[in-house]
A and B are shown apart, each in its own frame.
Chain A
Amino acid sequence: NAGVTQTPKFQVLKTGQSMTLQCAQDMNHNSMYWYRQDPGMGLRLIYYSASEGTTDKGEVPNGYNVSRLNKREFSLRLESAAPSQTSVYFCASSLTFTGRDYGYTFGSGTRLTVV
């Protein structure tokens, strides 16, 4: 049972380059999320998809776009990477949008460095 799978695990980008972080879940969850984690700041929500076909901004959406490709997959795109986007990115999913009773299931993260 894979849970939430993120690719790639590591990435180095030059300023201005673009890339897409991939996320897939095999738990038939309805809701999916992208978080970034920076030292001393916990996890901050970038974008989320409450259900297939919908996406909404979180607290730090600037510089990112997302696509909910289908129920399983939720990708995060950086159109023009900036050093401030150096972070660890986590994808998560939950059975319901409330995330209650079972919380969220997180992937193992993508460590992104922008130079």
Chain B
Amino acid sequence: GESVGLHLPTLSVQEGDNSIINCAYSNSASDYFIWYKQESGKGPQFIIDIRSNMDKRQGQRVTVLLNKTVKHLSLQIAATQPGDSAVYFCAENRSNDYKLSFGAGTTVTVRA
């Protein structure tokens, strides 16, 4: 079936290192993607988005890469900090069905 998913459920990162969180999608009609961050006890928070006419988009300490050929996107966090510890979700939004579909999430733990 069609789904949005993340490759790994957990990721442990040393403080100061760069983090890479991966996400695969299967629906070629998906043309808009969002990364969310969810801290413990809180709702998901928008981090960054990317449209399918782009390959890369940068924000503050974050970069999203989109590879439409293999239906893969990633979120890179530079110089990971303790405050980056959270669950990260990718979500897709299709041009013919605007509802967001979420992956299962990756839990990122930052080691001091």
Contact = CB atoms under 8 A, between A and B. Distances in A.
Interface of A: 4, 33, 35, 40-45, 48, 58, 90, 92, 97-109
B99 A48 contact: yes
B43 A103 contact: no
A105 B89 CA distance: 14
Contacts, number: 56
Contact of B98 (A43, A90, A99, A102): A99
B43 A100 contact: no
B44 A106 contact: yes
Interface of B: 9, 32, 34, 36, 41-46, 49, 51, 89, 91, 93, 98-105
27 contacts: A40-B9, A40-B104, A41-B104, A42-B89, A42-B102, A42-B104, A42-B105, A43-B44, A43-B89, A45-B100, A48-B99, A58-B99, A98-B93, A99-B34, A99-B93, A100-B32, A100-B51, A100-B93, A101-B49, A102-B46, A103-B91, A104-B46, A106-B43, A106-B45, A107-B43, A108-B42, A109-B42
